[in-house]
Structure 1
Amino acid sequence: MKIAILGTRGIPNYYGGFEQFAEYFSAYCVEKGHDVYVYNSHNHPYQEKTFKGVHILHQHDPEYKMGTFGQFIYDYNCIKDIRKRDFDVILQLGYTSSSVWCFLIPKKPILITNMDGLEWKRSKYSRPVRQFLKFAERLAAVSSDYLVADSLGIKSSLKNRYNKESVYIAYGAHPFNNPDDSILKEYNVEKDNYTMVMARFEPENNIDMVLEGVVLRNDATPILVVGKHETKYGNYLKEKFKDYPHIRFIGGLYNIDHLNNLRYYSKLYFHGHSVGGTNPSLLEAMASSALIAAHNNDFNKGVLKENAYYFSNAQDVANLLATLVKSDNLQIIQNNFEAITHDFNWNKINGDYLRFFEECNAKKNRAVAG
């Protein structure tokens, strides 16, 4: 098959979950003999024309000077390029700024959309923007040939809202088996004597709640706050907690080996996400044998089940910091690691996606032949 992947800033990953998935899945498809093209922003740090056998198609992306509206132009440029090429399958990752151009996507390729999380629930957006996101979600659901849901909650929502079936395929993670505490020196922490929170700096990821709990706990154990903080909300949090030197904003970190080791040696890993499907960083924390404290919601519980501790407010966070001991929780850590090995490993996830593509393509070929 000739496959296009649309909707990310590009590969290799320098940004987030969809980019990480696109990096792994595109290379996997090439290994299986398929012809794969991934659309990249023109200013992506990686400027080569191929990556692990995957064709890279750089398109102009004015987001850096126009803000969010630039994403719509970037997606338009990608879709305009798609029209020049004879793809069998287009995988659209998300819909926020691409579904408005659905009428431009050629009819011949099979259009499969991963519907991401419930974007219109994100509190960072104004009411008009949230209304638009509902409209964009509907456009994607109606215009796509097939839908992928990365959590059972999203699958149920799509059925209820649009009476449309979707296939459930989660994200994946690589089991982490090679810890090396030497990297801790670079971050000025000691094993089992620091905590972590990692997320995009958005209100619904509850970084603020976690850090308020850290302040309530009132001890000097460092917490590493991982994520790109050069944003309005990031500046707000840095200003709010500037008097607490043990709260360390270390920025975005994309060295997966460093991240895995930091999670592995942490005393407690906080996952504050409250909107969306199966979050990639949560799976990576499970794969890194971290002891996880997660925000109390159905999305997180659907993945972690009883193998985590949950918080709903800053006082809960403070209480967990005061009472949890990692060595007392080795069984739930092992349970999460085994869940990655059996249910969420990348080979399984990539295989599930590719089999689904092959089934969709075979169904189309039968219809054409008939």
Structure 2
Amino acid sequence: MARHVAILGTRGYPSYYGGFETLVRTLAPYLADTGWDVSVYSRPGATVDDDPARDMRIQSVVSRGVDTQSLSTLSFGATSALSTVRRRPDVALIMNVANGFWLPFLRAARIPTVVNVDGIEWEREKWGANARRAFRLGAKLTATHATSLIFDSVGIADRWQTGFGRDGTTIAYGGTVPGMLDVPLGLTSGKYALLVSRFVPENTVDEFLEAASVIAEKHDVVLVGSSGYGGELDAKAEKLAAENTRVRWLGHVHDDQQLFALWRHAGAYFHGHSVGGTNPALVQAMACGAPTVARDTVFNREVLGDNAVFVPPTAPEIAAAVTALLEAPTVQHRLGAGAEERARHHYSWDSICEQYDTLLRRHLPQEISGPRISAVGSGTTPRSSTVRTHVTADRPASGVPTATAL
């Protein structure tokens, strides 16, 4: 008997917006390989429908909501949850504690829920007081009503045990180790500083932009990211790039290969995230062998080990550390090689996806749990380079994935 998982709380499949979307792009095909029917709730216009890497077995269910910074997660979560109650999958995988408000409905419908709690959202500086209270309440409801919890780091697990008395399963994020990549955008390998970040205060973006003015006196600086909604940090990056020929602001980069190449050839990658657990961008930077200067937090130390330079969140300290690393190729090589090796051993996607598969299966009724179908060694082309055309019986025989609107 088929087993069905619904994935809620991301921008959809396939989407390139952030860490959760990267996880779903990798996890959904893996689950399909191991015998799951997979549905992913998606926001209108947020997916790349003509993506050649799209797996045709994954069903996209388009939900509706209010696409603003303060209401998007709650509103899209509400419509997705109500649709899930109606469609009745065997288990729901839910991202973000803001969706905790809708867990009582899923619980009442006897749909098991596995929730990836993400970071400590109610401590993010980008949110106002009301939003922080909402995230905190969503976390309490998640602790009360979720069947199982996923923490992406030991540090996050400790916070939930201390703050909410809930245990769960610790599953990090994965990274893709790329092959040979050309130096991008006419840059010089090992000679430029790189920031890849959503432009929000808790990611130390403002401090890095201030430091960039100093770094750019001698070295190129590449900025990747934006707030997604405009604002002061976007304006500051735009002004900095306009006034300094050594600074490039690329905005959001959708092309994974270009982003991997930027990490691979950077002389110093700055990672300033402060309130998350295992950050997906950091894991991918490690997999690309990026020599890293990181904000000194318990989360970043857990992920990087001793393969980084750690600094306090001040512009002078950041500028000094980044400049020193750009001028020390031997240190660049040591840190980059160590980070890549750590990513290979601790943050491989196959391992991460297998852990998700195992956890989801624990919530299936006995009669449909069935034997696990191996996703590895089947003689097929690796998932990263395969365009799948297989469809299940309830999907169109043409090989075009179903995009269901609520």
Same fold (TM over 0.5): yes
Matches within 5 A, 1:336-351: 336-351=339-354
Choose the corresponding residue for 1:159, options 161, 181, 203: 161
Choose the corresponding residue for 1:194, options 192, 204, 214: 192
Aligned to 1:207: 205
Distance 2:72 2:181 in 1: 40
Deviates more, 1:282-291 or 1:212-221: 212-221
Superposition RMSD in Å: 2.2
Distance 2:96 2:39 in 1: 17
Asked if structure 2 preserves the Cα contact closer than 8 Å seen for 1:95 and 1:137, the reply is: yes
Q: Secondary structure at the match of 2:364?
A: helix
Aligned to 2:403: none
Aligned to 1:56: 60
Distance 2:308 2:101 in 1: 39
1:293 CA displacement: 0.5
1:85 CA displacement: 1.4
1:79 CA displacement: 1.2
Aligned to 1:143: 145
> What is the one-letter code of the residue matched to 1:248?
R
Asked if structure 2 preserves the Cα contact closer than 8 Å seen for 1:173 and 1:280, the reply is: yes
Aligned to 1:235: 234
> What is the one-letter code of the residue matched to 1:286?
M
Aligned length: 359
> What is the one-letter code of the residue matched to 1:55?
Q
Q: Secondary structure at the match of 1:154?
A: helix
Aligned to 2:115: 113
Aligned to 1:91: 93
Distance 2:363 2:225 in 1: 37
Aligned to 2:333: 330
Asked if structure 2 preserves the Cα contact closer than 8 Å seen for 1:175 and 1:341, the reply is: yes
1:240 CA displacement: 5.9
Matches within 5 A, 1:301-316: 301-312=301-312, 313-316=314-317
Choose the corresponding residue for 1:224, options 209, 222, 225: 222
Task: Summarize the Cα distance change of 1:310–1:86 in structure 2 as closer, same or farther, 3 Å threshold.
Answer: same
Asked if structure 1 preserves the Cα contact closer than 8 Å seen for 2:15 and 2:48, the reply is: no
Distance 1:330 1:20 in 2: 27
1:322 CA displacement: 3.2
1:235 CA displacement: 3.3
Asked if structure 1 preserves the Cα contact closer than 8 Å seen for 2:12 and 2:47, the reply is: no
> What is the one-letter code of the residue matched to 2:231?
K
1:78-108 CA-partner distances (Å, limit 9, x unpaired): 1121122131110001122x22222222532
1:285 CA displacement: 0.5
Task: Summarize the Cα distance change of 1:17–1:141 in structure 2 as closer, same or farther, 3 Å threshold.
Answer: same
TM-score (norm 2): 0.83
Task: Summarize the Cα distance change of 1:217–1:251 in structure 2 as closer, same or farther, 3 Å threshold.
Answer: closer
Distance 2:368 2:238 in 1: 58
Aligned to 1:320: 321
> What is the one-letter code of the residue matched to 2:147?
D
TM-score (norm 1): 0.91
Distance 1:69 1:214 in 2: 33
Distance 1:223 1:15 in 2: 23
> What is the one-letter code of the residue matched to 2:262?
L
Task: Summarize the Cα distance change of 1:137–1:363 in structure 2 as closer, same or farther, 3 Å threshold.
Answer: farther
Distance 2:233 2:208 in 1: 14
1:365 CA displacement: 8.5
> What is the one-letter code of the residue matched to 1:298?
V
Q: Secondary structure at the match of 2:97?
A: coil
Q: Secondary structure at the match of 2:92?
A: strand
1:221 CA displacement: 1.6
Distance 1:364 1:170 in 2: 30
1:243-273 CA-partner distances (Å, limit 9, x unpaired): 3332221100021111111111111111011
Q: Secondary structure at the match of 2:362?
A: helix
Q: Percent identity?
A: 26
